[in-house]
Chain A
Amino acid sequence: MYPLKAIQKTMAAYRHLSTCVFSEKGRYYCVNMTRIHKDVERVIVDEFCNYVLSLIKE
């Protein structure tokens, strides 16, 4: 569903907001986020997913 390249680009774009660690688990790509910036903790996961989708269209 989510191309790897788009996920990697998003991780790079979000590096100033959290530490992202990539892994694969079965059929899924996993992005583990730690040290999340306080201002975005509520929304970062949702925004991350949307950002990946937006890159797919580019």
Chain B
Amino acid sequence: MKKSPESTSLVHINKEKVGFFRFKELKGKYLVTNDSGCYLFLTKPEFKKFIQGKLDKKSSTYKNLQANNFIKDDADLGKSIEICQQRNVFLFQGPSLHIVVVTLRCNYNCVYCQASSRGIGAKGMDMDKKTARAVVNTIFQSPSKDITIEFQGGEPLLNWPIVRFIVELAEQKNRKAKKNLFISLVTNLSLMDGEKHAYLVKHSISICTSLDGPESLHNANRPFAEGDSYRATTAWIKKIKAREKKDSSLYKLGALVTISKYSLKYPKDIVDEYRKWGFYGVHLRPLSLLGLSGKFKNSIGYSVPDFLKFWEKAMDYIIGLNLKGKFFYERGSAIMLRKIMGDLDPNFLDLRSPCGAGIGQILYNYDGKVYTCDEGRMLGEDTFILGNVLKHSYKELVSHPNLRVVCQASILENSACDYCAYKPYCGVCPVLNYALYGDLFAPGPDNYQCQLHMGMLDYLFDKLQNKKVRGVFEKWMGLKKSNRKIS
């Protein structure tokens, strides 16, 4: 390349033609992405011509780049602004997810418990009515038109009266507030009975449980002193699924898996277990490394490469099933793919800039303490506290300096992440950074979460180059035809 006499730069870019983009070399090609979340793969010669502004306007490469807002002097600014709005609309909505920890007591002893729950006989670990009322009052002060109340624990069914109290009070308040109210309950199902289930159905409460895989694996991860935790959970999975078949208007039962060291040998078995029980998807979540899973990471944890190896095997198997005509998806990838292939942000709080802490979600603990997020609570200390519902107003809670600090720490534009090709599809967790590195910002390319996301996105982008697999992903998105013009 010739160097212009005035220029101190080695790289000659056509300033008029080349719009903003990020890039990464991936298996011999260049992946280019931009602020609109658009992406394209270019060969090396195409990449060179692109940055020099020498692409033939009639070529399919030029047309694809232009259609996806990479060409500066041929860009649709109005479209860029619209996409930017859609991708950041969550900034103006206020917290929509409100997690209510009705009790810290639990009848299980999961090896990776993030909630650091207490035994069933522990005293003073249940939310009382006064606190519950203050929680509901605070929730309805959120400006968000969508409100999700998610019951967590411990095991929330151990404080069933307060669950009912909150549900009914929220419904009562909503008659006036007219929000889109959605209520969900996270439970191990061991304490479910006919009466409770009927109540949940009557009030349209969605249920989510944990199913870690086949019986021996599930029991190894989730010991239950009173019996077999797998049988206790699956007995109710069977009943609920049977009811879903009869009444399609019911919310579908959800289930999550947590991958421990014991799970790594069973990628296919875990997927098959979910299919066996009638689930159409699975979320292969790595350990959060918070709570007990952080404390015992040496015995139940694994390295990022080990997790990615497991995850890729599971994904290969899932994709294979889909190519044989059997619909099944992996939820974590589906969320990332929605960010890659669509213009509307799925608003997954862990994958956005800034993250959802305090501005997308808030957690209310059994004792009234309010945290920036679920992860803030899992840390087991008060570092990420915003106040207490019994003492502080909604405005005081959301104005707390902790909220601003966490927000700032998760803004990708402020960090080295802004150079990364995957920035439009990624997010950081300041709480996790603090837990692992003692620093909200936790710089470094060997950052645990960065490595995880990088590995997953490398895999997904590699697969997206295959038309058949891309078609599978489009089905997961509910897209018959992608709205992006990509050859």
Contact = CB atoms under 8 A, between A and B. Distances in A.
A and B touch in the complex (CB under 8 A): yes
Interface of A: 13, 54-55, 57-58
A21 to B, nearest CB: 22
A54 B414 CA distance: 13
Interface string B216-249: 0000000000000000000000000000000000
A58 B441 contact: yes
B438 A58 contact: no
Nearest to A55: B443
Interface in B382-428: 414-416
B415 A54 contact: no
B194 interface: no
B419 to A, nearest CB: 8
Contacts of B415: 57-58
With a 10 A CB-CB cut-off, give which of B415, B438, B443 has the most chain A CB atoms: B443
A55 B441 CA distance: 9
B438 A54 contact: no
Interface of B: 414-416, 438-439, 441, 443-444
13 contacts: A13-B438, A13-B439, A54-B443, A54-B444, A55-B443, A57-B415, A57-B416, A57-B443, A58-B414, A58-B415, A58-B416, A58-B441, A58-B443
A55 B443 CA distance: 7
Contacts of B416: 57-58
A57 B415 CA distance: 6
Contacts of A13: 438-439
A13 B433 CA distance: 14
A8 to B, nearest CB: 14
Nearest to A54: B443
Contacts of B438: 13
Which 8 pairs show the lowest CB-CB distances between chains A and B?
A: A54-B443, A57-B416, A54-B444, A58-B443, A58-B441, A58-B415, A57-B443, A55-B443
Contacts of A58: 414-416, 441, 443
A55 B437 CA distance: 13
A22 to B, nearest CB: 20
A55 B439 CA distance: 11
A7 to B, nearest CB: 15
Contacts of B439: 13
Contacts of B414: 58
Nearest to B445: A54
A54 B416 CA distance: 9
Nearest to B441: A58
A57 B441 CA distance: 11
Contacts of A54: 443-444
Given A13-B438, A54-B443, A58-B416, 7 more contacts: A54-B444, A55-B443, A57-B415, A57-B416, A57-B443, A58-B414, A58-B415
Contacts of B444: 54
B437 to A, nearest CB: 9
A53 to B, nearest CB: 9
